[in-house]
Each structure stands twice: as C-alpha cells, then as structure tokens.
Amino acid sequence: MGLFSKDIKTMNDLFVHQLQDIYYAEKQLVMALPKMADKATDKQLKGGFLTHLEETKTHVQRLEQVFEMHGAEVKAVDCPAIDGIIEEADEVTVEVEDKRVLDAALINAAQAAEHYEIARYGSLIAWARQLGRNDCASVLQRTLEEEKATDQKLTTLAEGKVNLRAAG
C-alpha cells in the first residue's frame, strides 16, 4: 500500500486487505507449526500441532478460493501482528528449560495465534455478509469453526494434562 495515499476507500477494499493479511498469517503459521511440533514433548500435543498444520494448509487454499470467488488478486500483505505473535513464541520457548513447562508455553503461544485468527475471521465473515457475499462467508466460516475447535482442544489438553505435569 502507498504510504501517502489512502488505499482503503470502501468496505470492499477493507475486506480484500484483511483477506491479504490473514493469507500472510496462515502462510506464516504453515512454516511455524512444524517447529512447534518439533519442540513439543507430549505426544498428543505434537500430534495436535501436526493435525493443525494440515488444517492450516487447507485454510490457505480456502483463502485462495475466496480471493477467486470475489474476483480479487491472490496476494499477501505483511501482518505485523502474526509476526509479533510468532516472534514472542520463539523468544519465550527458547527460554524454557524444563520440557514439561515448555509444553505449557507452546500451548499458550498456539492459543495466541488461534485467537488472532478467530478475531480476524469473525470480522471477515461479518463483512462478507454485509457485502452480499454469503458464498465467501460460508467458506470462511468453515475455517473459523476449525480455529475455535483447535483452541478448545488446546485448552482441554492444557487443563487436563500438560499444566498438571508442568507444575509437578
């Protein structure tokens, strides 16, 4: 985007811009999730990250589908928010000595990413409906449901097992 021009003139421009933003974020997560799986000790957590990696690859494809449905160029724009979330995850996890505590920190980091996506997809779906694009909203809704389910699974794993071990 231009630094001195105001490039977002309409709701449609905002919708497309945020599609580009979350497209970048999902692609960054495709790169980050295998590293998180490598660091995880708990087998269920490691498996969960790998399952969500496959889902995240599907989310990237769904966004490409939405760009096409909406007649917009498939394009990513920098997303400092997800960069910050991933940077923070790297910084914290490198500081953790105990493997069981590391698992708790990894879940915390992953939930920050999930919640970022939940917030963004929530707005995108509302905007799509407002723009009369229920077809795009339906595709985005499937991803939102998967992000919420992943967040819930992480909470269950943390509170049912990982936190108990980390504090033990």
Q: Which positions lie near a copy of itself, rule CB under 8 A? A: 1, 6-11, 13-14, 17-18, 21, 79-85, 87-88, 91-92, 94-98, 101, 104-105, 107-108, 111-112, 114-116, 118-120, 122-123, 126-127, 130-131, 151, 155, 158-159, 163-164, 166-167
Quote the least distance from Cβ 168 to a copy of itself, whole Å: 9
* Cβ nearer to a copy of itself, comparing 28 with 61: 28
* Cβ nearer to a copy of itself, comparing 61 with 91: 91
* Cβ nearer to a copy of itself, comparing 71 with 132: 132
Give the integer Cα–Cα distance in Å for 23 and 77. 8
Q: Which residue has the tokens 């819930």?
A: 152
* Cβ nearer to a copy of itself, comparing 68 with 98: 98
Quote the least distance from Cβ 50 to a copy of itself, whole Å: 21
Sorted by sequence, the CB contacts under 8 Å of residue 120 that are 6+ apart come out as 18, 21, 22, 25
What is the per-residue burial (b if ≥16 Cβ within 10 Å, else e) of 13-39? eebbebbbbbbbbbbbbeebbeebbeb
Quote the least distance from Cβ 39 to a copy of itself, whole Å: 13
Quote the least distance from Cβ 20 to a copy of itself, whole Å: 11
Give the integer Cα–Cα distance in Å for 118 and 148. 7
Query: At how many degrees (to 10) do helices 43-69 and 134-157 cross?
Result: 170
Q: What phi and psi, each to the nearest 5 degrees, are found at residue 53? A: -60, -45
Quote the least distance from Cβ 7 to a copy of itself, whole Å: 5
